[in-house]
Amino acid sequence: MKIAVVADPLASFKIHKDSTYAMMQAAAARGHALWALEPGDLAWRDGRVMGRAFPVTLLPHPQPLSRGERGAWFEAGGHEWLELREFDAVLMRKDPPFDQEYLYATYLLELAEAQGARVFNRPRALRDFNEKFAISRFPQFTVPTLVTRRGELIRAFLAEQGDIVVKPLNAMGGAAVFRLRPGDANIGVTIETLTALGTTTIMAQRFIPEIKAGDKRILLIDGEPVPYALARIPAPGETRGNLAAGGTGEARPLTERDRAIARALGPALKAEGLFLVGLDVIGDWLTEVNVTSPTCFREIMDQTGFDVAGRFVEALERKVESEK
């Protein structure tokens, strides 16, 4: 296959943990041709959606780069303007935030899809499934949750629940996630800051004390769960398990509750065109449905030996073949 990867600049990747890099490694190992471009390289011209892409050759690395290090891991060919439908698959792997430019990229990718491109995840689904708010489609698996920009509703929800988490709807990595309890001195300023004085909608959820045991990331590939989750355990003094917030990742087999959630959500998400999804589960409860650039491939692979990236590429091969 000829695969185009739409992502952040490749030079910014931390390949010791980057899931997109793991995908590219697995694809290259199976003989597929890799190309890369950024969302800013997309364009609509003369009725065609084009991408200014360049071919990528992965360099051999006997050992991954050390934690936090960046370095040369690929060779890039010359840029070419190509129609996206010339690729067998286009992987949209741009990290959040889901801002206006991300939105415009989904418009271009959806038009490319209408012209014959195969885009994963489907652009319309990327727009329809806000990673925080998408849990509203599956209320049987969620704790009490409020979505609003009205401060008085958030205060009433806090008084009712006694312990809540508030967070923006468009961030990632645990950014701007706050825990609030009655009597906290900064309730007002927290609500004012997150809602931008009542002009920005946010989410509030009942605090789930099982976060101490980890915020589990369950990966779904074409509707089927990977048999291991990555439990992201908060650092001492933290209530966020996100690895970007200092959490520690521990791979664990899926529990029966994890499998029940995956079985219920997998077919529905697949039907929407969501080929790769990362479900976040704390204790027994679904907290997020991540669709933009789900991660944790590398951590699960390194700790269990289960080839998540290989399974992803194999599923992609089957999907592309079935759609030809």
| Active site residue ranges | 132, 167, 217, 232, 240, 280, 288, 290
User: Burial, 100: exposed, middle or buried (Cβ in 10 Å; 0-12, 13-18, 19+)?
Assistant: exposed
Q: Beta partners for 278?
A: 219, 290
Distance CA 134, CA 204 (A): 14
**C-beta separation of 163 from 206 below 8 A:** yes
**C-beta separation of 115 from 49 below 8 A:** yes
The sign of the torsion formed by the CA atoms of 94, 100, 103, 108 equals: negative
- Phi then psi for residue 234, to 5 deg, are -60, 150
Tokens 């908060």 correspond to 234
Q: What is the DSSP letter of 60?
A: P
| Other Cβ atoms closer than 10 A to 67 | 8
Instruction: Write the DSSP string, 266-295.
Output: HHHHHHTT--EEEEEEETTEEEEEE-SS--
Distance CA 209, CA 163 (A): 10
Tokens 């030079």 correspond to 11
